[in-house]
Chains A and B, each alone.
Chain A
Amino acid sequence: MSKFQPKLIGSCRISNCQIHKNTNLIFKSDYQSFATFADECYTHFKLAYPKFHKMDKLSKLGWLCADILLNNTNLAIKYDPFKVGVVLSNKNSSLDTDIKYYNMLKTGVASPAVFVYSLPNIVIGEICIRHGIKGANTFFISERFNIPQQFQYVNHLLKSSEVDACIGGWVELLDDNYEAFFYLVEKSDITNGNEYTIKNIEALYNNRGND
């Protein structure tokens, strides 16, 4: 077993037109639609990533959450890219895009660019491309964010040395209802960060943040 214990290094939450990083409010908007909110975030954070505009809403949500969580972490440089994992979950899979694609089929020619997002794990692909991550990744579908189940899975990846760092979390979107909560866990000798436990993830997830 490694001498290093997994630590929760950071978290990011995006919901209700607000972004919290490590429970601190870092961005707030009055926009109600997710599409407009996402565009505003893109401009505000000076993201300069043209492919962002081609993503579906679920991928934009997860990509934004990961980008803010990982800002300045150099995760795929600090660790072997094959030792960085991503484990996410949600309730409605890619249903938002599935419905859009289904409606396109009814009206005539369907867009290939829409079709490619008709799987939920594409959001993981977009995050991995952006950050050079090449390790284990999985997307679970569950009625609610099942923290004990995700903890068990991620902890197994860490303990078996399949990964040395992992992004975990929840990324749910249907119409304009959305919520993303990501955390970063690292098997590191650094002293900051809380122990990686179910209780500590639940505490982070249930902390709606400071305004």
Chain B
Amino acid sequence: MTELKENLKRQIVEQLNLKDIKPEEIGDDQPLFVEGLGLDSIDALELIVLLQQNYGIKLTRAEDGPTVFRSVNSMADYIMANKK
């Protein structure tokens, strides 16, 4: 799980071009949107692409987005529960 979270942080920084942030600076439970990393709606779409490309998981229910993408912890939990 720790390795998964480290990979996720690295992938988030790369996929979203967060050049001013280092992966290790992202807290496991830090909110990704608004007051946390300050991600926006386009970033949310990029995170959906990230799940699909790196983990083969398609987020089909848009209403799940806010819960799944709340933090690195919640993304990791979703990946563990849905990986094939």
Contact of A111 among B18, B20, B21, B49 (CB under 8 A): B49
B1 interfacial by beta-carbon distance below 8 Å: no
Q: Is the interface of A mostly helix, strand, loop or mixed?
A: helix
B17 contacts A111, CB within 8 Å?
Answer: no
Instruction: State the CA gap A50–B53 with chains docked (Å).
Output: 25
In A152-189, which residues have CB < 8 Å from any B CB?
none
Judging by beta carbons under 8 Å apart, are A50 and B49 in contact? Answer: no
Q: How far, in angstroms, from A53 to B16 measured CA to CA in the complex? A: 9
Interface residues on A, range: under 10
Closest residue of chain A to B47, judged by CB? A112
By the criterion CB–CB under 8 Å, are A54 and B16 in contact? Answer: yes
| B34 cross-chain contacts in A, Cβ below 8 A | none
Q: Which of A50, A108, A109, A112 contacts B42 (CB 8 A)?
A: A112
Residue of A whose beta carbon sits closest to that of B45: A112
In chain B, what residue has the closest Cβ to A48? B20
Chain B proximity mask over A121-163: 1 for CB below 8 Å, otherwise 0 = 0000000000000000000000000000000000000000000
Task: Tell me, in angstroms, the Cα distance from A113 to B45 when the chains sit together.
Answer: 8
Q: 13 A-B pairs, CB-CB below 8 angstroms?
A: A50-B19, A53-B18, A53-B19, A54-B16, A54-B42, A109-B49, A109-B53, A111-B46, A111-B49, A113-B17, A113-B43, A113-B45, A113-B46
With A53-B20, A113-B45 already in contact, 17 other A-B pairs whose C-beta atoms are closer than 8 Å: A50-B20, A50-B21, A53-B18, A54-B16, A54-B42, A108-B53, A109-B49, A109-B52, A109-B53, A111-B46, A111-B49, A112-B42, A112-B49, A113-B16, A113-B17, A113-B42, A113-B46
- Indicate if A116 sits at the interface (CB-CB under 8 A): yes
Would you call A53 and B17 a contact (CB within 8 A)? yes
For the complex, what is the distance from the CA of A50 to the CA of B43, rounded to whole Å?
13
